């Protein structure tokens, strides 16, 4: 057999073997590697190169070496799953580097992270002042996770006592001009409804690049081209209706935050008057 053909076959075999091994070792081998997995990945790559190119030795010995490394790696994963002590040694543990707004220099030296690196990681979390941080920990992967102090945390609907409807996953009902029947069924809609929505937006099915139905049952359409993109209505009446709806939402919010009953009554009165005006400008269909 010519050398070039043998190398081609060996390389093809190495690719197939590496694919099977990666599936065996799991997704962590691709995403976040522990120290042991990192060493395993490098070694397996070197052995695969040996299998592909070394014509002087028996190529099956490389497969034996791969099998041993995979066996050790899989065994180590099972051991670390069962023992936290071994897991702490193999994968490492998180290290606290900020506690109650105070930098822990000793722990930073232990992890060999500089102030510049630490500040960069904080900026990635949209944190620009160390004193605002209640707690920050450097994970085994090297990423820094941050918890801000209560007074600096973003306001959430739960803090305000708002009860919001549960969000559900948006369903992709059209891809590349083709209807995804299963997603349409999950969204509780049918083909006739979809055709009607596209007709309202004056868009042909074959022109749709992507279309999704959100948790409110509304259809959003992407054509992938600026000229055919669906634009909001430019009719004055429709624009007035949209503005009135925005004002109504803002008045409802102000009513919720009102400090006393008199203020609430004023907002409520304004909402009622606004609703009267909204009868003359119904929202666009």
Whichever domain contains 126, its CATH number is 3.30.240.20
Could you tell me if 178 and 248 lie in one domain? Answer: no
**Burial class of residue 42 in the structure, from the number of CB atoms within 10 Å of its CB (0-12 exposed, 13-18 middle, 19+ buried):** exposed
Could you tell me if 21 and 73 lie in one domain? Answer: yes
Could you tell me if 12 and 73 lie in one domain? Answer: yes
Report yes or no on 162 lying in a domain.
no
- pTM value > 0.95: no
Could you tell me if 68 and 105 lie in one domain? Answer: no
| Average pLDDT, integer, range 21-34 | 55
Higher pLDDT, 187 or 228: 187
Could you tell me if 28 and 46 lie in one domain? Answer: yes
- In this predicted structure, the answer to whether residue 166 has a pLDDT above a threshold of 90 is no
Q: Which of 123-127, 174-178, 211-215, 251-255 has the lowest mean pLDDT?
A: 251-255
Kindly state the tokens that stand for 149.
């102090």
What integer pLDDT is reported at residue 142 of this predicted model? 79
Distances (CA, A) of 203 to 39, 177, 198, 217, 233: 54, 11, 5, 18, 14
Report yes or no on 160 lying in a domain.
no
Which residue in 220, 275, 269 sits closest to 247, CA to CA? 275
Could you tell me if 196 and 240 lie in one domain? Answer: no
Could you tell me if 15 and 75 lie in one domain? Answer: yes
Higher pLDDT, 106 or 233: 106
Pairing of strands 102-103, 133-138: unpaired
Which residue in 271, 238, 241 sits closest to 254, CA to CA? 271
CB distance 176 to 209 below 8 Å: yes
> Which residue among 41, 62, 89 closes a domain?
89
CB distance 97 to 60 below 8 Å: no
What integer pLDDT is reported at residue 15 of this predicted model? 67
Could you tell me if 183 and 222 lie in one domain? Answer: yes
Could you tell me if 214 and 255 lie in one domain? Answer: no
pLDDT grade for 105, boundaries at 50, 70 and 90: very high
> Which residue among 89, 106, 129 closes a domain?
89
Residue 78, domain extent: 3-89
Q: Which of 108-122, 154-168, 198-212, 268-282 has the lowest mean pLDDT?
A: 154-168
Question: Average pLDDT over the chain, rounded to whole?
Answer: 79
Instruction: Give the integer Cα–Cα distance in Å for 67 and 194.
Output: 53
| Average pLDDT, integer, range 76-89 | 78
Residue where the block lists tokens 């900020």: 98
Domain total of the chain: 4
């Amino acid at each position: 057999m010519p050398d070039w053909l043998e190398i081609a076959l060996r390389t093809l075999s190495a690719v197939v073997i590496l694919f099977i091994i990666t599936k065996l070792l799991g997704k962590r081998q691709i995403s976040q590697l522990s120290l042991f997995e990192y060493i395993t990945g490098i070694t397996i790559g070197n052995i695969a190169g040996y299998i592909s190119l070394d014509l002087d030795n028996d190529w099956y010995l490389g497969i034996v070496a791969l099998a041993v490394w995979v066996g050790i790696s899989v065994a180590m994963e099972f051991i670390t799953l069962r023992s936290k002590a071994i897991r702490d040694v193999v994968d490492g543990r998180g290290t606290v580097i900020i506690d109650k707004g105070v930098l822990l220099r000793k722990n930073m030296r232990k992890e060999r992270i500089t102030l510049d690196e630490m500040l960069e990681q904080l900026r990635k979390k949209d944190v620009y002042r160390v004193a605002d941080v209640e707690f920050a920990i450097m994970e085994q992967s090297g990423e820094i996770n941050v918890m801000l102090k209560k007074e600096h945390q973003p306001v959430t609907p739960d803090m305000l006592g708002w009860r919001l409807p549960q969000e559900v996953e948006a369903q992709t009902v059209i891809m590349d001009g083709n209807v995804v029947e299963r997603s349409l069924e999950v969204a509780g809609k049918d083909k006739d409804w979809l055709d009607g929505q596209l007709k309202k937006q004056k868009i042909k099915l074959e022109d749709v690049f992507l279309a999704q139905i959100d948790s409110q049952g509304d259809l959003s359409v992407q054509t992938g081209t600026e000229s055919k993109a669906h634009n909001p209505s430019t009719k004055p009446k429709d624009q007035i209706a949209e503005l009135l709806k925005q004002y109504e939402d803002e008045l409802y919010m102000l009513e919720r935050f009102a400090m006393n009953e008199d203020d609430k009554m004023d907002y409520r009165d304004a909402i009622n008057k606004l609703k009267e005006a909204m009868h003359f400008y119904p929202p666009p269909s």
